[in-house]
Amino acid sequence: MDWQNKLTQLLGITYPVIQAPMLGVTSPAMVAAISNAGGLGSLPVGGLSPEKTRQLIQEVKSSTDKPYSVNLFAHAIPDMDIAEAEVMRRNLNALIENNELQADIPNLENLTFYNYKEQIAILIEEKVPVVSFTFGIPDDTSIAEMKQHGIVLIGTATCTEEAILLAEKNIDAIVLQGIEAGGHRGSFIGGDVPQVGLMALVPMALKAVNIPLIASGAINSGATVKAAFALGATAVQIGTAFITAHESLAIASYKEALATAKDTDTKLTRAFSGRWARGIKNEFMEYVETSGLSTPPYPIQNSLTGPLRADAQNKDNKAFTNLWSGQAAALSANKLSSAEIFNNIIRETENL
């Protein structure tokens, strides 16, 4: 099977298979493992401090000399509605007390939000070869700077209109995130969050834009990779299938939940972060969604719930942390190394 195409050549990789950046799950070791196996490993740094961003990039670079990508959250930071955030803060503190968790939600004036613009200089200094982004489009200056330094840019779209907006900015390739996908929706046009299935999205976007399209959502096997290529995708991006990998940062109970999840066990929620994201249903989601409270927008809610989620993770308590997952979780819960998961998918695809 000939895997080479326009995108593999642009990226300098062997297989058009990308390990999805998964903040909180993807470690530098996972990124390096996939890049060393001939795919494109993606390091998530969305919302992280400039110092942490540099440290993680350097960890990847110390383990691979192959191309990899770094993933940004390209959103604007909204003004905080103090009254709304304070009510949420107090309720989260009460939830912590009532559930034997040990976390303190910081006062609102102590919340820190990092903007992607603070990370661009580091990406350039560290000579990152590929930058992918989600939640929006970087401003024109940032795009121009990265392009001047030869960085390949990959955007994220959840509907055709977003793909067209990315194409108008001369982005090199687009991840099409179907509604099946785990984690945050990359959506950035206003109005209701787009809920387009991958089967509709790839052919629709293909008609509208003329740049390589990367299919993402419920891809975890030879059959699903082939299906994406048959639809017209140039590459695939795989997330959930790597959550159970040895190099994953996911806690044990999260990995267990993936292995037994039914196709109806995930849903979209704003409860954890203030942005729509797909995860396995749990107590925390239920609490926020039935509380009648107004959920502050991303990244405010994300920062408010952060300490609670961190404590739940320390206690391996899956009831109070985000269990991001795509719809086909159980099909891909192989407790193997990242490279083994990757190589199995490549082999299966070649055998079909």
Ligand X SMILES: Cc1cc2nc3c(=O)[nH]c(=O)nc-3n(C[C@H](O)[C@H](O)[C@H](O)COP(=O)(O)O)c2cc1C
Shortest gap between Cβ of 173 and ligand X (angstroms)?
13
Q: Residue 37 or residue 219: which is nearer to ligand X going by CB?
A: 219
- Least distance (Å) between residue 54 CB and ligand X: 17
φ/ψ (deg, to 5) at 155: -100, 175
Residue of the chain from 33, 37, 219, 235 that contacts ligand X (CB under 6 A): 219
Residue among 138 and 217 whose Cβ is closer to ligand X:
217
Three-state DSSP at 43 gives: strand
Q: Does 265 bind ligand X (CB under 6 A)?
A: no
CA distance 74 to 311: 28
Q: Find the shortest distance in angstroms from Cβ 212 to ligand X.
A: 16
Site string for ligand X, 307-346 (x = CB under 6 A): -----------------xxx--------------------
Residue 177 touches ligand X, criterion: CB under 6 A: yes
**CA distances, 270 to each of 19, 21, 29, 64, 257 (Å):** 24, 20, 30, 36, 20
* Interface with ligand X, residue 41, by CB under 6 A: no
- For ligand X, which residue of 16, 28, 138, 217 counts as binding (CB under 6 A)? 217
Question: Which of 16, 39, 41, 44: binder of ligand X (CB under 6 A)?
Answer: 44
Q: Which two tokens stand for residue 217?
A: 């959502």
Q: Is 158 in the site for ligand X (CB under 6 A)?
A: no
Per CB under 6 A, contacts with ligand X among 118-147 are 134
Interatomic CA distance for residues 218 and 206, integer angstroms: 19
Q: Distance (Å, rounded) from C-alpha 130 to C-alpha 31?
A: 13
CA distance 141 to 43: 23
Comparing CA positions, the residue from 206, 228, 104 lying closest to residue 157 is 206
Q: How far is the CB of 220 from ligand X (least distance, A)?
A: 7
- Tell me how far apart the alpha carbons of residues 152 and 142 are, in angstroms, rounded to a whole number: 13
Angle between helices 283-290 and 300-314 in degrees, nearest 10: 150
d(CA 39, CA 68): 8
Q: Is 4 exposed, middle or buried (0-12, 13-18, 19+ CB in 10 A)?
A: exposed
Q: Which of 19, 53, 71, 234 binds ligand X (CB under 6 A)?
A: 71
- Scanning 29-37, 85-93, 102-110, 216-224 for contacts with ligand X by CB under 6 A, the matching segment is 216-224
- Helices vs strands, H then E, count in the chain: 13, 11
Q: Which of 183, 188, 192 is nearest to 158 (CA)?
A: 188
Q: Considering the rule CB under 6 A, would residue 46 count as an interface residue with ligand X?
A: yes
Q: Which is nearer to ligand X, 44 or 136 (CB)?
A: 44
- Decide if residue 238 touches ligand X (CB under 6 A): yes
Q: Kindly indicate which of the ranges 136-144, 199-207, 217-225, 268-276 contains the residues binding ligand X, using the contact rule CB under 6 A.
A: 217-225
Q: Which of 28, 39, 194, 239 binds ligand X (CB under 6 A)?
A: 239
Q: CB of residue 253 vs ligand X: minimum separation in angstroms?
A: 14
Q: Which residues bind ligand X (CB under 6 A)?
A: 20-23, 25, 44, 46, 71, 134, 156, 177, 180-184, 186, 216-219, 237-240, 243, 324-326
